[in-house]
Amino acid sequence: MTILYLIDETVDASEKDIETFIGFVNYQAQLYLQNYFHTETTLNNKTKYISNDSNLQKLMESNNNKPYVYVEGTISSLTSYFEKKTQS
């Protein structure tokens, strides 16, 4: 299983701190899945910076109203984006 972490301009951290945080989250998710499903699970991850993808960057603009992020809108936009992408 692979988790894709999307990093946008609202994240104000160094690349090293981002990698450390993602490693921690991945480890916790792996433990949770192992305990829940009673099976050994290995989680892989990928990190994508939205600033490197103009389509995602444009999609996220309406949801990022600093200092706040519209979480429900972000989830809805990303779900729609990736559903369309996987159907293509």
Q: CA of 24: how far to CAs of 12, 16, 40, 70, 83, in Å?
A: 18, 12, 18, 25, 27
Do strands 64-65 and 68-69 pair parallel, antiparallel, or not at all (unpaired)? antiparallel
In this prediction, residue 30 carries a pLDDT of 94
Q: How far is CA 75 from the centre of its chain?
A: 10
Q: How does pLDDT run across 7-60, given as a tens digit for each residue?
A: 998 899 999 999 999 999 999 999 999 999 998 888 999 999 999 999 999 988
Burial of 66 (0-12, 13-18, 19+ CB in 10 A): exposed
In this prediction, residue 88 carries a pLDDT of 63
Whether 77 has a pLDDT exceeding 70, the answer reads yes
Tell me what percent of the residues of the chain surpass a pLDDT of 70. 99
- Backbone phi, psi, residue 64, to 5°: -105, 90
Q: What SS3 state is found at 20?
A: helix
* Residue ranges making up the domain that contains 63: 2-87
In this prediction, residue 85 carries a pLDDT of 81
Domain total of the chain = 1
